[in-house]
Amino acid sequence: MRILHIANFYGDKSGGIRTTIHNLGHSYIQRGHEFTFIVPGTGFYCEETPTGRMIHLPSIILPFSGGYRIIRRNKDVRNLITTLKPDVIEISDRFTLSQIGPWAKKRNIPAVVFSHETLSGLVKTHLKLSLTRFVDWHNRRLASRFKYVIATTQFAAKEFRRIETENLVTIPLGVDLTNFHPSNRDESLRTELLKGADVLLVHCGRLSPEKKPENSLRALQELTRQGISAHLVYVGIGPLQKKLMQESKDLPVTFLGYVAGRQKLAAILASADISLAPGPIETFCLAAMESLASGTPVVASSTSAVGEFLLLDSAQPVGATFENTPETFVEAIKSVMRMRARNSNLARLCHQQAENFPWSATVSQMLRLHDDSQRVKKAHHRLRAA
């Protein structure tokens, strides 16, 4: 099967989208399929990678996004589809690439779209409004343009279920269980990052408004006020980095920036006491899942999808949630600190929970979805020049 994935907001230092594409591509290739992905670039060029053929198209930088790029012309994408003749298309951008759906449908090419974000959450975050009618209209239109809408969690699926979307499918993303493991814990690295403190907190993720990275800083301020010796490490970059650095001058905070090496990132996550995921509208949060795989419990916003993975209603949870205030954030952190103190097996339990989300399961579900109406039969194309 020839699988084509098209994505915006992909770059050398992007997080979830990049990780998702690379893991899907690697697994598709291992199972004997061809995989090509089209992403924004500074020009038009192609390269072969271990995760598939990567084609860059000319793009523009999205203002106020911290450097994210989007493909300049959808016509260039359509021309490539005509040339590549894929059997199926995957889209990772519910906004600027949605027109590819009906174009592909006219040519009998099955196309699916990932809803990597919740539109209702984005509207509330950036516009401070609900705009329910607009959100429902947009989601109905999106669903009508593709064979399937893929949500990665129940939280991400909620706004589509509200409008009774019939072609909605929930497929959780996966986690790299080989590179992220409790055995990566490094006591010398931990000591270096602690800088004399007792508790090591890590915030791993893009420092952008919708992810509310400032909430981790507010929680640290409150912990410090209460006399708890904690050190916060930010891993990631984004438009809010400069502001956060200015606000944290008198606090025990380290900004590591973007960590390119997966092994270095895995060691940081495994060496921390608690991983913080304060984003209130996270629809999956790969960093939180990588933290669990590393044996590190997670404290997350109660309004995000992360709580779905933390076994909160079980006798042995692997994290806690908070109600989006510094006070409740601190209480959740303290509850996990107590959890660590009384349960020496917590790291093992965290990793065991992450084992329920292997990339192999994600890929198996995706391939079943692609083969849903055809099985072995190839798609019949009626391609013409874009």
Question: Residue 341: which CATH number?
Answer: 3.40.50.2000
Split at pLDDT 50, 70, 90, the class of 66 is low
Assess whether 340 and 238 both reside in one domain.
Answer: yes
Is 301 within the bounds of a domain? yes
Is 107 within the bounds of a domain? yes
In this prediction, residue 383 carries a pLDDT of 46
In this prediction, residue 377 carries a pLDDT of 41
pLDDT at 285 over 50: yes
Assess whether 161 and 216 both reside in one domain.
Answer: no
Instruction: Give the number of domains in the chain.
Output: 2
pLDDT at 386 over 50: no
In this prediction, residue 182 carries a pLDDT of 98
| Side chain identity, residue 200 | L
Assess whether 229 and 284 both reside in one domain.
Answer: yes
In this prediction, residue 16 carries a pLDDT of 85
pLDDT single digits (tens) 95-154: 999 999 999 999 999 999 999 999 998 888 878 788 899 999 999 999 999 999 999 999
pLDDT single digits (tens) 6-49: 999 887 777 789 999 999 999 999 999 999 999 999 999 999 99
Split at pLDDT 50, 70, 90, the class of 67 is confident
In this prediction, residue 373 carries a pLDDT of 46
Assess whether 188 and 138 both reside in one domain.
Answer: no
Q: Which of 191-200, 341-350, 371-380 has the lowest mean pLDDT?
A: 371-380
* Cα of 345 vs its chain's centroid, Å: 27
- 310 or 130: which leads in pLDDT: 310
Assess whether 217 and 287 both reside in one domain.
Answer: yes
Is 236 within the bounds of a domain? yes
> How many Å is the Cα radius of gyration of the chain?
21
pLDDT single digits (tens) 267-284: 999 999 999 999 999 999
Residues 6+ positions from 145 with CB-CB distance below 8 Å: 98, 99, 101, 102, 105, 113
Q: CB–CB of 236/266 below 8 Å?
A: no
Assess whether 69 and 86 both reside in one domain.
Answer: yes
Across the chain, mean pLDDT equals 93
Assess whether 96 and 163 both reside in one domain.
Answer: yes
Domain encompassing residue 296: 182-354
In this prediction, residue 260 carries a pLDDT of 85
Assess whether 231 and 293 both reside in one domain.
Answer: yes
Q: Average of pLDDT values for 41-66?
A: 91
Residues 6+ positions from 103 with CB-CB distance below 8 Å: 78
Q: Average of pLDDT values for 77-97?
A: 96
Assess whether 155 and 202 both reside in one domain.
Answer: no
> What is each CA distance from 25 to 19, 289, 300, in whole angstroms?
10, 20, 29
Assess whether 331 and 236 both reside in one domain.
Answer: yes
Split at pLDDT 50, 70, 90, the class of 379 is very low
pLDDT single digits (tens) 350-376: 999 999 999 999 999 999 999 864 553
Q: Which of 119-123, 229-233, 366-370, 382-386 has the lowest mean pLDDT?
A: 382-386
pLDDT at 76 over 80: yes
pLDDT single digits (tens) 241-271: 999 999 999 999 999 999 988 999 999 999 9
Q: How far apart are CA 14 and CA 209, in angstroms?
A: 15
Q: Average of pLDDT values for 286-297?
A: 98
Question: For 42-76, b where at least 16 C-beta lie within 10 A, e where not — what string?
Answer: eeeeeeeeebbbbbbbebeeeeeebebbbbeebeb
Assess whether 197 and 317 both reside in one domain.
Answer: yes
Is 382 within the bounds of a domain? no
Residues, the chain:
386
Q: How far apart are CA 194 and CA 202, in angstroms?
A: 10
